[in-house]
């Protein structure tokens, strides 16, 4: 390797250095972590005054429904919205990133965002990652050039159509569009057609379910119909509600009584035996688990301490001599009496 090759800075993007390690772990039986994926039905169509977007509200992680009422219609700009299918984290991250860039663009230019600008930013980002960002999008909005519907695939390819469907339930929704779509739809006709397309995905695709969300975008106006239809209500609801015990359940309890380890006995004017005056008494003694240290300040009172009846050592430090003189007295104290 030449010196010029070593000076080249590393390129950005995904790192595939651990692919061999992950392949070896999978062959040994280790299952990779599952990510939250939206098996989805999302649609969009153009009607005479603008565009209508629709989506279901079920999010799945493998065979498990992990969210029954998630939002799959994401904000891009006041006049642009985007439906997302694929990995939930990818769709939210990509749409939030483009929404932030368009906001800065509006601040700089003072003009409304155009749908083609959002489409270009999204497809360039997805193309750079070659499909590893699992986001399949239906982009819709109204700008100075009229209403627009675009589909953006995870690899970065784009379709521009008067109506579009994506997700695991896209085939069922497309059958409804192909049989019922016509040019010049009114608002009510468009909302009904979009709702029927989402319902076909809900009832014919296991990855789609729960409710129907609809977003209507016209020139200078947006209407977001959250839970516009609820075709799968709970079949049984207890009229009395559900109550839960407020007490904390204890699986096992064990009470351990602590015994006294240190006994303190007051003993007269014992400080006078060590020259009188104030002093600092440091008492150390060996207990069952190690050394215990007690510090006391006393004028004419010595607190005699016994630790489990074992010998202790007294360090008498005279404060008058600025803590420079120290005597060690070995004393065996038991029941308040001196043995030596």
- The residues annotated with a catalytic role in the active site are 40
Rounded Cα–Cα distance for residues 145 and 119 (Å): 14
The span from the first CA to the last CA of the chain, in angstroms, equals: 82
CA–CA distance, 200 with 165 (Å, rounded to integer) = 12
Matching residue, tokens 């009422």: 69
Buried b (16+ CB within 10 A) or exposed e, 195-213: bbbbbbbbeebebbbbbbb
Residue 282 to residues 270, 279, 304, Cα–Cα distance (Å)? 15, 10, 11
Question: What whole-number distance in Å separates Cα of residue 220 and Cα of residue 31?
Answer: 50
Give φ, ψ of 282 to 5 degrees.
-110, 115
């Amino acid at each position: 390797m030449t010196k010029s090759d070593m000076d080249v800075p590393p390129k950005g993007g995904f790192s595939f250095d651990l692919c061999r390690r992950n392949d070896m772990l999978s062959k040994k039986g280790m299952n990779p972590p599952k990510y939250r994926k939206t098996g989805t039905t999302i649609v969009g169509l153009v009607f005479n005054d603008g565009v209508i977007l629709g989506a279901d509200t079920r999010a799945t992680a493998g065979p498990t429904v992990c969210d029954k009422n998630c939002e799959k219609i994401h904000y891009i700009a006041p006049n642009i919205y985007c439906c997302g299918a694929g990995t939930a984290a990818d769709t939210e991250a990509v749409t939030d990133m483009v929404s932030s860039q368009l906001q800065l663009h509006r601040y700089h230019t003072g003009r409304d965002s155009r749908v083609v600008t959002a489409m270009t930013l999204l497809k360039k980002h997805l193309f750079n990652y070659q499909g590893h960002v699992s986001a399949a999008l239906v982009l819709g909005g109204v700008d100075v050039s009229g209403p627009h519907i675009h589909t953006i695939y995870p690899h970065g390819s784009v379709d521009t159509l008067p109506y579009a469907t994506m997700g695991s339930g896209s085939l069922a929704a497309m059958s409804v569009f192909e049989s019922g779509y016509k040019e010049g739809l009114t608002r009510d006709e468009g909302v009904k057609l979009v709702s029927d397309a989402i319902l076909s995905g809900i009832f014919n695709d296991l990855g789609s379910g729960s409710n129907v969300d609809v977003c209507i975008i016209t020139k200078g106006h947006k209407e977001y119909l959250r839970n516009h239809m609820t075709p799968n209500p709970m079949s049984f609801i207890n009229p009395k509600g559900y109550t839960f015990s407020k007490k904390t359940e204890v699986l096992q309890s064990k009470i351990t009584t602590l015994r006294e380890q240190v006994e303190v006995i007051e003993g007269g004017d014992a400080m006078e035996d060590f020259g009188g005056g104030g002093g600092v008494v440091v008492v150390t003694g060996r207990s069952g688990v190690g050394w215990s240290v007690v510090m006391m300040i006393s004028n004419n009172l010595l607190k005699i301490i016994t630790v489990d009846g074992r010998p202790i050592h007294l360090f008498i430090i005279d404060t008058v001599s600025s803590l420079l003189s120290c005597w060690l007295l070995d004393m065996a104290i038991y029941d308040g009496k001196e043995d030596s």
